[in-house]
């Protein structure tokens, strides 16, 4: 078993069509509120110039929304944060468009959609929109994407002793490719993680200021999302979220939203898991 990696979660952001912010998600999880009855259309990222806002892919819109809210919750200036962007598939709508155009008339390929097709499009727009020159990365690990991105964010925070922004998101996979490699709707989540040391703020909103103790361990199985039990999660919480590839993030977020402590495992590769203990931060002095 490898090193224990300890970080504090100092901010959380979330966006899904019927749970359009972290407070709503927490309230629904606690049984204090119902999910919004009507699914919202994607958020318009205020960070982008108006023309870019309109043309931005769904993945970029939701990633920037969650990222902005997490930074606000953490009370940190985005300019100071290295960032890790994790997305299972990239932008399905752009890939559907590009592959369709290539099959019909490749010379009609749109230059804007092409440069928006890179997996690091959200990372690029985030750094441009915030003026952040810190390192930024974009990664995927299939059904292990959320865990792989979380590990990288925690590792960066500890290796370079800095708070790190972690954003995990997926949009829908439309068109023929979506029949083979499916994802529905949109989910974006974001965390600000920082090395667990120094004084924390005294009073924190739900899910903020909690500690993750993570380690990479041999292991065969991740727990299915429904078996994660930070207390009893209302069915409405899971049911309010689409069959999206980034449902991977839900078990950990359920822990953070519920204020529960406990242990969970997420698959990282065949025969290897990320084991995470979720605990309250105890601050001294």
Partner 1 sequence: MKPLAVTAYTTTTAVGQGNAALIGALMAERSGLRPNDFTQHPLETFIGRVADVEAVRLPSHLAPWDCRNNRLALLGLESDGFIAAVEAARRRYGADRIALVIGTSTSSIGATEEAYARLTPEGHFPDDLCRPEVHTPHSLGVFLARALDLRGPCVTVSTACSSSAKVFAQAERLLRLGIADAAIVGGVDTLCGSVLFGFNSLELVSKEPCRPFDPTRNGISLGEAAGFALLEREGVADSDAWLIGHGESSDAHHMSSPHPEGLGAELALRDALARAQRAPAAVDYINLHGTGSQKNDEVEGALIARVFPVSPATSATTHAAPAHAAPAHPAPAHAAPALAASSTKGFTGHTLGAAGIVEAVICLLAMKHGFRPGTLNARSIDPDCGPHVRLHGEHAPVRVAVNESFGFGGNNCVLVFADRAAP
Contacts 24+ apart (CB under 8 A), 276-281: 276/150, 276/212, 276/213, 276/214, 276/252, 277/212, 277/213, 277/214, 278/210, 278/211, 278/212, 278/230, 278/252, 279/210, 279/211, 279/213, 280/210, 280/211, 281/8, 281/196, 281/200, 281/209, 281/210, 281/211
Per-residue contact flags (x/-) with partner 1 for residues 13 to 52, judged by CB under 8 A: ----------------------------------------
Interface with partner 1 includes 181 (CB under 8 A)? yes
Number of Cβ atoms within 10 Å of the Cβ of 134: 16
Cβ-based nearer residue to partner 1, 62 or 138: 138
Interface with partner 1 includes 137 (CB under 8 A)? yes
Cβ-based nearer residue to partner 1, 158 or 211: 158
Per-residue contact flags (x/-) with partner 1 for residues 207 to 246, judged by CB under 8 A: ---------x-x----------------------------
Which bin fits 124, alpha (ψ -120 to 50), beta or left (φ > 0)? alpha
| Distance between CA atoms of residues 244 and 251, nearest Å | 14
Interface with partner 1 includes 152 (CB under 8 A)? yes
Binding window for partner 1 (CB under 8 A); candidates: 18-26, 158-166, 196-204, 252-260: 158-166
Among 142, 201, 205, 231, binds partner 1 (CB under 8 A): 142
Cβ-based nearer residue to partner 1, 10 or 88: 88
Instruction: Indicate the pairing of strand 83-86 with strand 164-170.
Output: parallel
In sequence order, what E strands does 38-77 have?
none
**Binding residues for partner 1 (CB under 8 A):** 2-3, 5, 88-90, 95, 98-100, 102-103, 105-107, 109-111, 114-121, 123-125, 127-128, 130-142, 144-145, 148, 151-152, 155-156, 158-160, 176-177, 179-181, 216, 218, 268-272, 274
């Amino acid at each position: 078993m490898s090193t224990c990696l300890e970080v504090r979660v100092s901010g959380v952001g979330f966006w899904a069509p019927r749970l359009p912010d972290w407070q709503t998600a927490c309230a629904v999880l606690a049984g204090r509120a119902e999910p919004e009855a009507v699914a919202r259309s994607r958020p318009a990222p205020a960070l982008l110039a108006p023309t870019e806002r309109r043309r931005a892919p769904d993945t970029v819109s939701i990633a920037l929304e969650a990222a902005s809210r997490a930074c606000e919750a953490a009370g940190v200036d985005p300019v100071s944060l290295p960032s890790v962007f994790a997305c299972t598939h990239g932008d399905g709508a752009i890939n559907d468009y590009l592959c369709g155009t290539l099959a019909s008339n490749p010379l009609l390929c749109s230059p804007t959609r092409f440069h928006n097709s890179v997996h690091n499009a959200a990372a690029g727009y985030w750094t441009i929109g915030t003026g952040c020159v810190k390192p930024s990365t974009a990664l995927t690990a299939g059904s292990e994407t959320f865990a792989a991105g979380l590990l990288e964010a925690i590792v960066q925070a500890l290796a370079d002793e800095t708070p790190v922004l972690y954003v995990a998101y997926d949009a829908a996979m439309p068109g023929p490719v979506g029949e083979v490699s499916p994802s529905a709707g949109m989910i974006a989540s974001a965390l600000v993680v920082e090395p667990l040391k120094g004084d924390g703020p005294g009073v924190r909103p739900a899910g903020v200021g909690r500690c993750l103790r993570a380690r990479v361990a041999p292991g065969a199985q991740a727990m299915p999302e429904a078996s994660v039990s930070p207390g009893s999660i209302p069915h409405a919480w899971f049911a309010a979220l689409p069959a999206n590839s980034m449902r991977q993030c839900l078990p950990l977020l359920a822990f953070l939203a519920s204020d529960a402590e406990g242990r969970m495992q997420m698959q990282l590769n065949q025969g290897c898991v990320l084991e995470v203990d979720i605990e309250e931060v105890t601050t001294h002095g």
